[in-house]
Amino acid sequence: DTAVSQTPKYLVTQMGNDKSIKCEQNLGHDTMYWYKQDSKKFLKIMFSYNNKELIINETVPNRFSPKSPDKAHLNLHINSLELGDSAVYFCASSKTRNYEQYFGPGTRLTVT
Amino acid sequence: AQSVAQPEDQVNVAEGNPLTVKCTYSVSGNPYLFWYVQYPNRGLQFLLKYITGDNLVKGSYGFEAEFNKSQTSFHLKKPSALVSDSALYFCAVRDDPPNDYKLSFGAGTTVTVRA
């Protein structure tokens, strides 16, 4: 009964490929997020959806495209992968603003 | 924009001793502050938050944090540290409206508790 789950856990791919990461939450939350954690453990918000509407879209290359088919799911598609995309990507969810966020276990993306 | 700073990259304490992880904040309005912990190869876990009310906030795993408006600080504390508290700790602040879904995180503080 995992609260926030992500697939895959590890993703190794070559430069130029296109890949997707999936996220699902079973907490009944309205808001979902994508974060990127770099090799120095610095954590940065990328996107957020509230009730399937995009509400946060940080300065992220347009090779990254989020999609929220419903409130419980938020996927991240990455086109033309680059070496600099190597990082751990975390999905999170919350009831709404002011509430704590619940994080998934992360997807470690390695681009070779 | 709101921001937090964690002045220490690392904190080392002996088991049984008090643990303090420092955080200072910069906000233009009312501060909404959070502490999270990340164990190796895991996602972040929520520890506690301050929105309003008592300056001493109690959270999970015996942690508490003290909100100090005059010093713009929100330090995380635990009276008696355990080896299992060794982890990476993040302080975070909520942005002001209309970006109030966004959390900005500090750079993190690695805590090592030695037996």
Cα–Cα distance between A4 and B73 in angstroms, integer? 31
Question: Judged by CB atoms within 8 Å, which residues 14-53 of A form the interface with B?
Answer: 31, 40-45, 48, 50
Q: A60 — contact with chain B (CB < 8 Å)? A: no
Non-local CB neighbours of B78 within 8 Å, separated by 6+ positions: B18, B19, B61, B62, B63, B64, B85
- Tell me the mean pLDDT in the region A13-30: 97
Task: List pLDDT tens digits, range A50-60.
Answer: 988 998 888 78
| pLDDT recorded at residue A1 | 62
| pLDDT recorded at residue B48 | 96
Every domain of chain A and the residues it spans: 4-111
Q: Report the length, in residues, of chain B.
A: 115
Cα–Cα distance between B78 and B48 in angstroms, integer? 12
Q: What is the mean pLDDT of chain A?
A: 94
| pLDDT recorded at residue A30 | 93
Every domain of chain B and the residues it spans: 3-114
Do residues B37 and B93 touch, judged by C-beta distance below 8 A?
Answer: no
Q: What CATH number does domain B3-114 carry, 2.70.98.10, 2.60.40.10, 1.10.3720.10, 3.40.640.10?
A: 2.60.40.10
Lowest mean pLDDT among A3-17, A79-93, A94-108: A94-108
pLDDT over 90 (residue B95):
no
Cα–Cα distance between A18 and A58 in angstroms, integer? 21
| pLDDT recorded at residue B24 | 97
- Residues from chain A contacting residue B38 (CB–CB below 8 Å): 41
Do residues B48 and B64 touch, judged by C-beta distance below 8 A?
Answer: yes
Task: List pLDDT tens digits, range B72-86.
Answer: 999 999 999 999 999
> Is A4-111 in CATH node 2.60.40.10?
yes
Instruction: Classify residue B97 as exposed, middle or buried by CB count within 10 Å of its CB (0-12, 13-18, 19+).
Output: exposed
| pLDDT recorded at residue B97 | 78
